[in-house]
A and B are shown apart, each in its own frame.
Chain A
Amino acid sequence: MKSKLHPLLILLFCSLSLCLFQSASAQNRVVTGKVVTEKGEPVVGASVGIGTAASAKYVTTDSKGAFKLQASARDTVTISSVGFEVKRVPIGSLSDFNITLTTKTETLNEVVVVGYGVQNRRDVTGSISKVDGKVFATLPVSSFDAALQGRAAGVQVTQSTGMAGAGAVIRIRGTGSITAGGEPLYVVDGIPITPNSGSTIGAANTNPLSSINPADIESLEILKDASSAAIYGSRGANGVILITTKRGKKGKPQFSFSSRFSASNITRKPELVNTEQYITLFKEAVANDYKFNPTGAPATKALPGGYTEADALKNNTDWQDATTHTGFSTFNDLSVSFGSQKFKAYIGLSNAHESSFLINDIFRRNSARLNMDYTPFSFLKISTNLSYTFTDQNYVPVGFDGGYGRAVSTAIPYFPIYQADTLYRTPVGSNPVSEIYNRTRRARNGRTFAGLNIDATILKGLVAHVEGTFDYSDNNLYQLTTRVLSNTPPSNVNRSFLANINSKIFLNYDLQVKGVHRFKFLLGGEILKNIGNSNGESVTFLPGAEDWLFNHPVLPPDSIPSPTLPGVNIANPAHTRSFGTQNEYSFLSYYGRINYTYKDRYMLTGIFRRDGSSRFGVNNKYGTFPAISAGWIITAEDFMKKVKGLSYLKLKAGYGLTGNAEIGNYAQWGTTNIAATQQYVGNAFYNITALSNPDLKWETTKNYDIGLEYGFMNNRITGEINYYIKDASDLFLNVRTTTSAGYGSVLGNYGKVRNKGLEFSISSRNIVKKDFTWTTDFNIARNTNRVIDIGTTSPDALGGNGDTRVIIGSPIGSNYLVKTLYVDPADGMPVYELLDADRKVAGTTKEYNAQRDRQIVGSPYPDFFGGIDNRFTYKNFEFGFTGTYSIGGYIYDDAEKFQLNNIGEWDVKKEVFDRRWQKPGDVTDIPRVTLGLTSLQRTRNTTEYLHSATYFRMKVVSFGYRLPQQLLKKFHLTNARIALSASNIFTLSKYDGDPEVFRDAGSSQARNISPNVTYLTPPQSKNYTLSLNLNF
């Protein structure tokens, strides 16, 4: 809403200052008047002026809406008040005015991007959240997706980690897929970009969105329901995020420079025991084991790692401190926008260097963008979008992969980092510090977005649009383990490319009939082709030459293995090349949309899309996705005119189909693997790998939506309430077939999931004074998720990390755990709930038997989640904070089963030392320490590690100062702002880890079915950022 106001104000200022010069010599007289609403109510506090608000010729209306000021006949009075359209009245000979302000619907009148066109917010019948590009301006990180958190009701954004360049997992109105991708479709300037299917490097999630420069984003629209997303057909079921980049504006070159400097620290560290405490616990564990099982356990046992107690006590390494630091990041953006009647351009240059709190974890990005609009004739507009981004990222080992993950797991506090001054302690392979320096992964990625759009006005209102876009990325991943960690250091280079080609033609026709009927027609078609390929090279070198491959990334094709390679370990000439197969898919689509508005108060939207895809089986080559929705602006009716306070009320309802086509590229085909490497006693063979499924198709979601948009007090308070049901069916599942038929399972469209939810948002201008304003945005959403059908899939086949399941009647990814009731005060062992064969409670047991006693516990999803945003301005000062919260639901800490239990192999949490059972009679929740005689005893998945997921997090607090006009003029600036912001400065949560949970899930299925499971995941970062913005 601010964004809309801003350019308007600039225009206003310009025109008013012109007036000012003209009126300087004119004769003044007293002008009086009264400002009223359309309903005749006085508008209090409206500003009435001749000139800018800062000028002397400025008054506010009194309690009766009256004003009085001096003006000349050549002047124009400008009347403005929050919630109303700005009105300008030439004074002429009048001296007493009765001015009626029309309600300005601010957000309601803003233009929103709806896919293949734009619409006025007022006319929209679907559910669309708009996020202004400005929110990305103070980001302390390089990827924009994190900033969406808490901004839109029903959009659950989980920031994955605090790693440099890390992304977020976004779920719009719940998870409606089990195995297929659950991420929304991202469309950048019209091109649907390759979705993030959950690829990982080591244990770090890659983030393709980090190659988009946030500073280039003008606005971001989130299409949440079928009434808006059905236009994206088979790819719209998870919602659609439309990203529009900035374009040139008419006028003299306007430069914008922004620079941010940010310091990043870890938000939360689990508190682990120190050496002394560790030794105490270890000795106690040995004693316990012997005491309770004298025949099965030894009476004494040496400390792990072969340390004597005396030696061990000499060291006390804080491995978390050793692997983290304060990371310093800089972000610099320079852009210029200029244009004439015929030509406009936007140029954006950006450099980001992000260094997270993890040592050696660095993300670098340089990007350039050139967006041009050329209008050679009034009926023709040619636009281009061009951008190139180069990212260079170090993926430091984390999670299960080592580094910080090892620092909070197998690195025991008495292990020293170094054994001599320069040598890492052995075994170096389990030394987190040696890992972060000696297991290097460097990903370099060049990404080009290029688009050419031509708009031709054929007739009045009829515009033909032809568009060709290209999204190409070239990725180079270099992985090296140095000789410090291996005597035969392996190194590996993987090169891949991804080309995403999209071209479309569509017609937009706007028609007005007799002033009361307004139509917008859209009819179009498009093709999309996505091609990817990757090749790898892996060589084992002699120690000392291991970076050879990095320096010589292209090997001659015939030299495998080649003696010409310096340093190739001939004794172990492990040199392999992997030639990836081309990965390709295509879409061919037709679509249309009709928007009909009658008397500006009744709206009807009809959408259809027909998608054909190479992914669909021959019997279901095309899917049709219709949607219909209607809106009624009740406040525009005469009978509502009398209702005081309520200024805007729109009822909207819709029904539609959307699809999810993220089902893999080749699942429909019956395939045979003919690789010559498949050998049986020296004979190559053919192997049928999949049966043909000609009926394979997209996943279908039926969407039912009803919503209410409201505005009170001349729209000082606005907001929206939505209720929806999303019935997803034909979910892509590997269902069980009779195993004796030879395959055991087949992939097909079998599952059903229902998401239901309620969303509420409110935006309020609490205080609007000349020098002081306060606005609040708040949203809250509830989504319930229930699995309706999984065909004949066996329950364990859909098990996820940390024992989650997809079970009919429960949410996707429910925790399936043995319930621990209490710790027996007699012997300190956990007592579990015993289930009988019918899975009914049948008493208690001390035997851990997961097969028998596992049950669904808790919910992996929150009951409510949302955000709150407050902004204050006082004169030139700005202050704001954004918080996000989540209420209800559980977190399963998959690592805690070791961090609380695995004495002897892992470092353990301090709470074990503080609260463990020690002697008969102790009543506590932490069992007696034991070395765990069997692996079963060490890897129990029980409710002991289930934690409340409720949290409130202060996401951003920012304090800004705008330089005053006089100073700006002196430096020839139009605007200058200095801000200090802090992110994640505090978090209220009972859980001692990061309550925003997202595991290093390596596939879309893992992302969907282990939503609340964490495993040594690095927490988020706490950032302090100083930013400077200059416009000139």
Chain B
Amino acid sequence: MRLKYKILAAFIGSGLFLASCQKATDFLEVRPGGNSVLTVDVIKTSDDLKKLMISAYAAINSGGFMDGNPLVSADVMADDAITTSSIFDWSQIVGHSMDLFNPRGRTTWANTYLAINRANVASASTIADPILATADAATVTQLKADAAFIRGLGFFHLVRLFGLPYDASTKSVAGRGIVIRLRGTTTITESFDKLQRSTVEETYTQIITDLTFAAANLPTTRTTWNNGFATRDIAKAILAKVYFFKGDMVNAAAQAKPIMQSGTYDLDADVITKYSRATTTGGTTKEVIWAIPSVSATNNLWGGLTGAYRTNNTSGAIPAFSPSASLIAAFTPATDTRYNKFFLTKNGVIYTKKFDYNAMDAITMGFDELLLLYAEATATAGTPTDLAEAVLWLNKIEKRAYGAAVTTVAAGQAGIIAAVRKERRLELCFRGERLHELKRLKLDVRGDAWDSRKVMFQIPDEEQSGNPGIILN
């Protein structure tokens, strides 16, 4: 019997030993491994916040933001591009019948807010606040300026696609701007926080506030972070564009002027240099104010555009997207050297070869674009000095395109503005500007009024599911 007790004692003892091996709370805490780390463990210093800010920059290049896809959508919705694609993404955009399920609309909305939220998380959120409270002022300012830039760019991108065009008649309509998010979402509770759409006016005010802050506080150059990070110039250039689309030509010109005169940027001798730069070994351009630069001959950052238009794919596939007859008709092939640089004919169909590269930079804004908006803005002011200034810049574009200046001051204010607008369409074709240009000029978009809901992106179903109160277009 004593043996039995010995054995039982050993038995119970070993059981107790097993039970006491590890604390239950430790045993039940299994954290993910590898590259997936708990946020609370990894985001501790302002350097960590900077790494989060880079993720926001990375999101600028996503499919719904600056990788080019929404630019294609806007040109198809307008009258610059057509498509043979029959999937409903595109058939709706072609037919001006975009609905809330449209994948183009969904991605644009989601990807842009993703970038905005990442910027906010890194600069103003429950994660960032305590870190920034003790960080040095320069770091705080830079993070906030980066966030302001990404927000400004993002809100502008969204309001031009999902909001009403800016006009006295539209700017105060309730809920026809976009949702303004200034703080980052870091908890599940916050992610259920249903903010509603502001007015167009409020949206533009916020964009201007953000870009003004960015233009004042971003570094002038950012060599340590290479290119791909915003500087004061791009913030100013975008700000000029925002004023331009708001119809505030005085401020548009004022913002653009210092960049125009800085000498930092210029038109390249060849109109396609900026597009071919990434694929060309050692290629350089002065015509880009800011782009997300490709880092190798295979690193394509403009996939949305090349995917749609490219004619020289290795697979030899015929692109589903091509220029509209209206755009082609706007060119004068006999005198315009751009025509042969931009277009080619394959199987009897005219395609664009602007994007025929393995790798492209995602150009957010070029000097060409700034030049043209500056020219129009100054011409709008209308004094002889202004008109001379406008013609001076317009002629640079004309000389490159036609070999000689075309417009003179003699054309008068209206003539100069018309010439600038013509060049805006031709020079900037397939850059996603045409839709907004038509709306800005209150012109019909292929039969639908400039402020029609039919030529606006529709608030996606996904937003509606999570935010049933959102006002729809």
Contact = CB atoms under 8 A, between A and B. Distances in A.
A581 B466 contact: no
Nearest to A531: B30
Contacts of B34: 579-582
Interface in B217-248: 225-228
A688 interface: yes
A670 interface: yes
A685 B55 contact: yes
Contacts of A685: 51-52, 54-55, 57-58
A689 B42 CA distance: 13
Interface residues of A, number: 72
A458 interface: yes
Interface string A578-619: 011110111010000000000000000000000011100000
Contacts of B15: 464, 466, 505
Interface in A735-767: 735-746, 748
B346 interface: no
Contact residues of A: prevailing secondary structure:
mixed
Contacts of A302: none
Interface string B32-43: 111111111011
Interface in B18-61: 18-19, 24, 27-40, 42-43, 48, 51-52, 54-55, 57-58, 61
Nearest to A680: B58
Interface stretch (A509-517, A708-716, A792-800): A792-800
A936 B85 CA distance: 10
B466 A736 contact: yes
Given A672-B38, A687-B58, 17 more contacts: A458-B8, A613-B28, A670-B39, A671-B32, A680-B57, A680-B228, A681-B295, A686-B54, A688-B55, A691-B191, A738-B192, A740-B463, A741-B113, A742-B116, A742-B185, A746-B192, A851-B99
A680 B227 CA distance: 10
A612 B462 contact: no
Given A683-B225, A851-B101, A935 B4 contact: no
B227 A681 contact: yes
A478 to B, nearest CB: 24
Q: Which of A621, A743, A936 has the largest number of chain B CB atoms within 10 A? A: A743
B27 to A, nearest CB: 6
A525 interface: yes
Interface of A: 377, 379-380, 454, 456, 458, 464, 466, 503, 505, 525, 527, 529, 579-582, 584-586, 588, 612-614, 621, 665-666, 669-676, 678, 680-689, 691-693, 735-746, 748, 792-794, 796-797, 850-851, 934-936
Interface in B196-210: none
| 9 residue pairs, one from A and one from B, having the closest CB atoms | A742-B117, A581-B34, A681-B228, A685-B54, A614-B30, A736-B466, A738-B467, A675-B35, A736-B465
A671 B28 contact: no
B452 interface: no
Interface of B: 3-4, 7-8, 11-12, 14-15, 18-19, 24, 27-40, 42-43, 48, 51-52, 54-55, 57-58, 61, 86-88, 99, 101, 109-110, 113-114, 116-118, 120-121, 178-179, 181, 184-188, 190-195, 225-228, 292-293, 295, 460-467, 470
23 contacts: A464-B12, A525-B19, A579-B34, A585-B30, A588-B28, A614-B30, A670-B40, A680-B57, A691-B188, A692-B38, A735-B466, A737-B191, A738-B195, A739-B463, A740-B113, A740-B467, A741-B185, A742-B121, A744-B466, A792-B465, A794-B465, A851-B99, A936-B87
A454 B35 contact: no
B414 to A, nearest CB: 41
Nearest to A468: B18
Contacts of A850: 88
A669 B32 CA distance: 8
B191 A743 contact: yes
Contact of A380 (B7, B14, B27): B7
A681 B39 contact: no
B191 A746 contact: yes
Contacts of B30: 584-586, 614, 665-666
Contacts of B38: 669-672, 692
Given A682-B226, A686-B42, A686-B43, A742 B114 contact: yes
A454 B187 CA distance: 48
Q: Which of B27, B33, B101, B466 has the largest number of chain A CB atoms within 10 A? A: B466
A960 B55 CA distance: 70
Nearest to B464: A794
A178 to B, nearest CB: 15
B11 A454 contact: yes
Contacts of B193: 738, 741
Nearest to B53: A685
B13 to A, nearest CB: 11
Contacts of B463: 738-740
B228 A745 contact: no
A672 B43 contact: yes
Contact of B110 (A458, A744, A746, A793): A744
A745 B466 contact: yes
Contact of A581 (B4, B32, B188, B461): B32
Nearest to B466: A736
A494 to B, nearest CB: 16
A683 B28 contact: no
B195 A742 contact: no
Contacts of B178: 740
Nearest to A582: B33
Contacts of B465: 736, 792-794, 797
A458 B10 CA distance: 13
Nearest to A934: B86
B292 A736 contact: no
A740 B179 contact: yes
Contacts of B52: 685-688
B239 to A, nearest CB: 23
A435 B367 CA distance: 54
A745 B29 CA distance: 25
A793 B461 CA distance: 10
A504 to B, nearest CB: 9
Given A665-B30, A683-B226, A936-B86, A739 B42 contact: no
A612 B40 CA distance: 23
Contacts of A735: 466
A744 B462 contact: yes
B295 A669 contact: no
Given A456-B7, A936-B87, A686 B48 contact: yes
Contact of A456 (B8, B18, B195, B461): B8
Contacts of A612: 24, 28
A583 to B, nearest CB: 8
B472 to A, nearest CB: 13
Contacts of A792: 465-466
Contacts of A737: 191-192, 466-467
Contacts of B113: 739-742
Nearest to B101: A851
B203 to A, nearest CB: 12
Contacts of A693: 188
B39 A742 contact: no
A670 B121 CA distance: 14
Contacts of B188: 691-693, 746, 748
Nearest to A738: B467
A683 B469 CA distance: 40
Contacts of A796: 101, 461
Nearest to A587: B28
Nearest to B12: A464
B349 to A, nearest CB: 15
B24 to A, nearest CB: 5
A673 B36 contact: yes
Nearest to B225: A683
Given A613-B28, A669-B31, A796-B101, A935 B116 contact: no
B156 to A, nearest CB: 15
Nearest to A849: B88
B185 A743 contact: yes
